[in-house]
Structure 1
């Protein structure tokens, strides 16, 4: 009788404990559900300028108190949107990384408002050995001759000067995706510039040869250089230019001629009390 009562109490305790576990689990799940929200994340890597399809997106739970700004919770709102930046797998798809609705795919969707895309021809040296990748910043260096010095032999007119700074690379060749695993040597690089910079770049490549100078992405400071010439390269002082002779005919100089002086001799003659002077 006593054993039966003990078994009943033990069974009742087990049932109550199980019920408490179930209730606690439901309460924890309810609390967790109230602190999370659905966020659209990339199900696979999305390249720059790619059109987003439903297969590229999935919804996942995200802490409500750590929701990234511009996060999208409705997967249908991403239909036919175009990415303006590379999105890796598992990364939240933010509004700042998407082109405006209705934008067509391609590189034109990546160009910001007020900017232009211009392509320059490069080689394995000019293109920084293939290390100038989409998303990097470069400076544009031009090697040309100073205006007004080409016909003078006293000084070498060659000069190398940085004409544009902190220009972002949009694409290399026909690829706008960024692969940081290895460099890629191409024959053309597309740059993001303003209309004023596009005019300068077009003039620079017509008057000389261009080179790309890779720079640190977090370095916004401009460089103030006067350009490198042959004299500054070799550490020589610039010699003054020789004066060219005047080709105009000069009037003959007038020579003043003075008349010769005649020596005059004077003799004093005395006759008695009279005195006179005669000149010869």
Structure 2
């Protein structure tokens, strides 16, 4: 009797345990399926300015609570969209990293609204030994003859443009590489006014690029460097102005009257003096 009751209790406990396992597994499946969301990510490295296609992106399950804003769930909706920044493998494709719909691929896709791209010829010195890479900021210095000076010694070096974005070096636009590259041309992003200044600067003198900190937004107002300021030579002191000459007043002496001989003449009671 006692053994029969023990078997019954064991059977009930086994059934309760089995039911608990079934319900727990169902809860885990439902919870896990609702905690993830399909997100479009890069299937491989995508270069800046490259149009997206189904070979470059795919969909993965992403934890719902950690999805960044601006993601996509359908890979087909991104067909032909151009990326503004390079994407690494597995990186989510965000709307903020894409050019507007209808933009064609290439360098023109990464130029900011209202800006222009202009290319300047450089060498290993002008191009900061190849450290001016896409994504860096530079200042532009022009060395030319000082206005109004005909002497070649009166040359001047002046910063004409500040915080100019480097879009590309030669034909490379990738911003992921940090290795210096010595090239013969650098493409800069400028405003229309800056494009005019830069074109004039390279026609009147020689250009140099000055690499600057990417987060430094301060601008400086310099007067330019000349030979005089470089060597610290004081400017020639101007001779003191001569005092105006005082007018000379000429005094003329009175001319003495000529000497004459005079005699007295009596005529009756009248008398007179005659001189000759």
**TM-score (normalised: structure 2):** 0.81
Equivalence map 1:96-245=2 (5 Å): 96-151=96-151, 156-239=153-236
Greater displacement, 84-93 / 94-103 = 94-103
Greater displacement, 62-71 / 11-20 = 11-20
CA distance, structure 1, for counterparts of residue 70 and residue 193 of structure 2: 32
1:197-235 residue CA offsets vs partner (Å, 9 max, x unmatched): 111110111111111111111111112222122222222
Greater displacement, 134-143 / 65-74 = 65-74
- Structure 2 SS opposite 1:133: coil
Root mean square deviation of aligned Cα:
3.3
Could you say which residue in structure 2 is the equivalent of 1:52? 52
CA distance, structure 2, for counterparts of residue 93 and residue 158 of structure 1: 51
**Structure 2 unmatched runs, 5+:** 240-247, 265-270
User: Do the aligned partners of residues 17 and 236 (structure 1) sit closer, same or farther apart at CA in structure 2, a change above 3 Å counting?
Assistant: farther
Could you say which residue in structure 1 is the equivalent of 2:268? none
- Structure 2 SS opposite 1:55: coil
- Structure 2 SS opposite 1:224: coil
Equivalence map 1:47-86=2 (5 Å): 47-86=47-86
Once the two structures are TM-superposed, the CA of residue 17 in structure 1 deviates from its matched residue by 2.8
CA distance, structure 1, for counterparts of residue 203 and residue 237 of structure 2: 31
Q: Does the 8 A contact of 1:140 with 1:210 survive in 2? A: yes
User: Do the aligned partners of residues 119 and 258 (structure 1) sit closer, same or farther apart at CA in structure 2, a change above 3 Å counting?
Assistant: same
1:21-40 residue CA offsets vs partner (Å, 9 max, x unmatched): 34223323323432332111
CA distance, structure 2, for counterparts of residue 222 and residue 67 of structure 1: 38
**Structure 1 unmatched runs, 5+:** 243-254
Once the two structures are TM-superposed, the CA of residue 150 in structure 1 deviates from its matched residue by 2.2
Q: Does the 8 A contact of 1:133 with 1:179 survive in 2? A: no
Q: Does the 8 A contact of 2:46 with 2:56 survive in 1? A: yes
User: Do the aligned partners of residues 214 and 29 (structure 1) sit closer, same or farther apart at CA in structure 2, a change above 3 Å counting?
Assistant: farther
